[in-house]
Amino acid sequence: MNRFKVRPEKEAEFKSRWLDREVLLRGAPASDYIAYASQTVWASREAYDAWRKSELFHVAHKGMGQGEVLTLEKREFSGYDVLRTVAGQEQAA
């Protein structure tokens, strides 16, 4: 998961760069930023590590950090291992 503090005046540009990702989450706006998170689920930590070392990763991230600054700080990465999953129930109508 990557977390971002997006400058309010740059939100449209941020979304146009990130909406093609697996999952983009928007948090509540704070006084000086809007919280966003991008989340991807991998089959295993080994699969994630292999992707990070792949040519595809390097191509996808080419030029990263060279464009206009859309956030207050650098993104914050957090990685998690699944310890337990719970089967979902049908959503109430």
Beta carbons within 8 Å of 72's beta carbon, 6+ residues apart: 5, 6, 7, 32, 33
Q: How far apart are CA 35 and CA 29, in angstroms?
A: 6
- The per-residue pLDDT string of the chain (93 residues; one tens digit each, 9 = 90 and over) reads 989 999 999 999 999 888 877 789 999 999 999 999 988 888 988 999 999 899 988 887 776 667 788 999 988 989 888 888 888 766 665
What pLDDT does 92 receive?
60
What pLDDT does 84 receive?
86
pTM, whole model, 2 decimals?
Answer: 0.73
SS3 17: helix
What pLDDT does 82 receive?
82
